[in-house]
A and B are shown apart, each in its own frame.
Chain A
Amino acid sequence: KNQVEQSPQSLIILEGKNCTLQCNYTVSPFSNLRWYKQDTGRGPVSLTIMTFSENTKSNGRYTATLDADTKQSSLHITASQLSDSASYICVVSDRGSTLGRLYFGRGTQLTVWP
């Protein structure tokens, strides 16, 4: 069973609308959680990284939240644009940077329609 579960699996929204993607994890111990954006045919690009002590982090129109107690994270996208169409991947690390293993979710495929 994957230790990082994302929902929904896919999402279609209209341009200009907001949306929220969910990530639940069971990884323990916990070090940090990252959200990546992966455009079709490209490699993932980091959006945000949050450690245990951080509960929110923003990157432009992207805002990630983390509840380490419930082991949940969300990625909120504001005023969506066509270029937001991509797969959004939640990644959890179980230890520090040099030794930590990364656990990948399967991603949420977001499609933004004009």
Chain B
Amino acid sequence: EADIYQTPRYLVIGTGKKITLECSQTMGHDKMYWYQQDPGMELHLIHYSYGVNSTEKGDLSSESTVSRIRTEHFPLTLESARPSHTSQYLCASSGGQVRSIVETQYFGPGTRLLVL
């Protein structure tokens, strides 16, 4: 079982509200990622970080923002939620002290967001 946690697991919120999805990992991984997944569809990378103070946008354009002030923490923020943001958001991490040619990404349980 991977030591990566996401809160809240479920969130129902009204349009225009600011929300922050939390993600933390205790594996000492340097890389962290945020994915968006709609039912029956593939995961889309929206943000990633290779270390503290490093953040990059992913393949899928997203109105969300992220920060990486601490290695273990990678929160995602939506300043003004809209119904189009309704989706499942998955956080993942990889890396650590043991370097490998092939790294496994460990996923959190996800946050299901519903914007009314």
Q: Which residues of A contact B (CB under 8 A)?
A: 2, 4, 9, 31-32, 34, 41-46, 49, 51, 89, 93, 96-98, 101-102, 104-107, 109
Contacts and interface: CB of A to CB of B under 8 A. Distances in A.
Given A97-B94, A97-B100, A102 B42 contact: no
Contacts, number: 58
A57 to B, nearest CB: 12
Main secondary structure of the interface of B (DSSP, over half): loop
Nearest to B6: A43
A102 B45 contact: yes
Contacts of B102: 31-32, 49, 51, 93, 97
Given A49-B104, A51-B102, A101-B59, 4 more contacts: A43-B90, A43-B91, A104-B42, A106-B41
A17 B94 CA distance: 34
Interface string B90-112: 11101000001111111111101
Contacts of B2: 43, 45
A106 to B, nearest CB: 5
B115 interface: no
Given A96-B101, A97-B94, A43 B42 contact: no
